[in-house]
């Protein structure tokens, strides 16, 4: 197989959940440039059900991906033969969805004698900050907030991650989605709640900041719990309904959003200070939230912490971030993945290095 040590241009696919995405990214003089990036969103289809229907998601990937790949290569003005590698998300995510992206990328790599990289989805989110001109250098602390994960991760080198905090129940994005549904706002919930909050009073309702108790007493300082908050919003809605009051959707949304943002910011800054990490990185779908970006910026400034935000356009799932992660792996390890690598619906980020082993772990 051709193996280019100067690998610089990658075609990346992302199909771990409900969006099909393809991108071409290039590493040039230490910067990662997005040459083309396309997303075929399935939001409209899943909105009817209030969440993602896995079987429908995989079928939709199967239909969308060939056209998305062709469009992305055309926009890049590149022949597939001038690429240096093909990458796809292989873990974690919905099995059927992951399979479509992985088989497409592996077929292209095999046909065109290109290296293949199987990328961990969360490593992709972590790499999204490198799509910004303002790039952090390790060590730093990452708050990764998406629909499936809420984690505080210390990054010691580009491929050495250590989880310091996590949610014990719902992820922050999941809480946004569930509360939006409860308030009758459309899926995905994050952007709907953000919009409804614009004209709402964030101090109208006082909702709890969930904490996770330690068996030996006290609380885990960097962990999160959002299920109690979701229940508190539900109880408030039930009470208002019982009293036959019109639901103040905007105030409920704004009060909910405020408490989620406060909790995320407080615990992140606390963790950075305690662990002597002077840089914080914000990534994942919820990182697109305007209030979260504003409050985190302010609190980081107040505490002398350097903040790096993933570009808003690359916070929610996209393939450019998967390409960025692949470029960083190629640069640091000069390694690709086996063409025999499968997919894995559940896999902790700390195990991402296994995806570059020969023989592959699955
Ligand atoms: O990273 P992502 O696209 O997919 C996962 O890997 O999960 O994150 C999707 C999540 C959804 O729960 C969505 O409601 C949330 O991110 N989200 C937001 C915003 N945009 C997307 N949450 C709050 N504010 C937003 N503006
Ligand atoms: Zn994601």
Domain boundaries, the chain: 9-128+315-356, 137-309
- pTM comes to 0.95
Pocket test for ligand 1, best of 126, 147, 287 (most atoms within 8 A of CB): 147
* Ligand 1 in reach of 256 Cβ (< 6 A): no
- Which parts of the chain sit beneath pLDDT 70? 1-7, 46, 50-51, 333-334
- Distance of CA 104 to CAs 13, 65, 66, 270, 340, Å? 8, 8, 8, 43, 13
Cα radius of gyration (the chain): 21
Atom of ligand 1 nearest to the CA of 317: 3
The DSSP line for 267-278 is HHHHHHHHTT--
Atom of ligand 1 nearest to the CA of 147: 7
pLDDT at position 3 is: 44
Paired with 154 in beta bridges are: 141, 162
- Distance of CA 41 to CAs 34, 65, 96, Å? 19, 11, 17
Residue pLDDT, tens place only, 120-154: 999 999 999 999 999 999 999 999 999 999 999 99
Q: Whose CA is nearest to atom 16 of ligand 1?
A: 285
Say which DSSP state 313 is in: G
Separation of alpha carbons 9 and 360, rounded Å: 24
CATH fit for domain 9-128+315-356, picks 3.40.50.720, 3.30.2230.10, 1.10.3720.10, 3.30.420.40: 3.30.420.40
Identical fold for domains 9-128+315-356 and 137-309, yes or no, is yes
Q: Whose CA is nearest to atom 26 of ligand 1?
A: 289
pLDDT at position 334 is: 64
Question: What are the tokens at 108?
Answer: 């292209």
Separation of alpha carbons 357 and 90, rounded Å: 14
The sheet carrying 150-157 orders its strands as 160-166, 150-157, 140-145, 279-283, 306-309
Our CA dihedral for 208, 210, 214, 217, rounded to 10 degrees, sits at -10
In CATH, the architecture of 137-309 is: 2-Layer Sandwich (3.30)
Q: Whose CA is nearest to atom 3 of ligand 1?
A: 316
Question: What are the tokens at 288?
Answer: 């697109």
Separation of alpha carbons 157 and 149, rounded Å: 21
pLDDT at position 46 is: 64
User: What angle separates helix 172-182 from helix 189-197, to the nearest 10 degrees?
Assistant: 70
User: What angle separates helix 249-274 from helix 172-182, to the nearest 10 degrees?
Assistant: 170
Separation of alpha carbons 352 and 88, rounded Å: 13
Burial 256-282 (b: 16+ CB within 10 A, else e): bbbbbbbbbbebbbebbeeeebebbbb
- Distance of CA 362 to CAs 159, 247, 299, Å? 20, 50, 43
Using the mean position of ligand 1's atoms as its centre, give its distance from the Cα of residue 162 in Å.
Answer: 23
pLDDT at position 8 is: 87
* Ligand 1 in reach of 316 Cβ (< 6 A): yes
Using the mean position of ligand 1's atoms as its centre, give its distance from the Cα of residue 286 in Å.
Answer: 4
For the chain, first and last CA: distance in Å? 22
Separation of alpha carbons 133 and 348, rounded Å: 28
């Amino acid at each position: 197989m051709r193996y280019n040590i100067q690998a610089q241009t990658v075609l990346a696919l992302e199909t771990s959940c409900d969006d099909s995405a393809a991108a071409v990214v290039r590493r040039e003089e230490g910067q990662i440039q997005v040459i083309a990036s396309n997303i075929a969103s399935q939001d409209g289809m899943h909105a009817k059900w209030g969440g993602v229907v896995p079987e429908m998601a995989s079928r939709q990937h199967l239909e969308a991906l060939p056209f998305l790949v062709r469009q992305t290569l055309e926009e890049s003005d590149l022949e597939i033969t001038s690429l240096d590698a093909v990458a796809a998300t292989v873990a974690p995510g919905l099995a059927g969805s992951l399979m479509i992206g992985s088989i497409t990328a592996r077929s292209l790599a095999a046909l065109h004698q290109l290296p293949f990289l199987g990328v961990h989805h969360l490593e992709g989110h972590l790499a999204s900050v490198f799509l910004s001109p303002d790039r952090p250098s390790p060590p730093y602390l990452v708050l990764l907030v998406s629909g499936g994960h809420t984690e505080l991760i210390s990054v010691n080198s580009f491929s050495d991650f250590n989880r310091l905090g996590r949610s014990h129940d719902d992820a922050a994005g999941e809480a946004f989605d569930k509360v939006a549904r409860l308030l009758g706002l459309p899926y995905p919930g994050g952007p709907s709640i953000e919009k409804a909050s614009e004209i709402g009073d964030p101090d109208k309702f006082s909702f709890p900041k969930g904490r996770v108790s330690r068996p030996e007493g006290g609380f885990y300082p960097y962990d999160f719990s959002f299920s109690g908050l979701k229940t508190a919003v539900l109880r408030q809605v039930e009470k208002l309904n019982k009293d036959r009051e019109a639901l103040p959707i905007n105030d409920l949304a704004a009060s909910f959003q405020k408490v989620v943002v406060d909790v995320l910011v407080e615990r992140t800054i606390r963790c950075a200070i305690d662990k002597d990490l002077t840089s914080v990185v914000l990534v994942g779908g919820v990182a697109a939230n305007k209030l979260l970006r504003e409050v985190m910026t302010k609190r980081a400034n107040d505490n002398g912490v350097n903040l790096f935000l993933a570009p808003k356009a690359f916070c929610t799932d996209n393939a450019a971030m998967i390409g960025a992660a692949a470029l960083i792996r190629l640069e640091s390890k000069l390694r690709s993945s086996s063409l025999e690598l499968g997919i894995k619906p559940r896999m902790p980020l700390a195990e991402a290095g296994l995806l570059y082993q020969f023989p592959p772990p699955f």
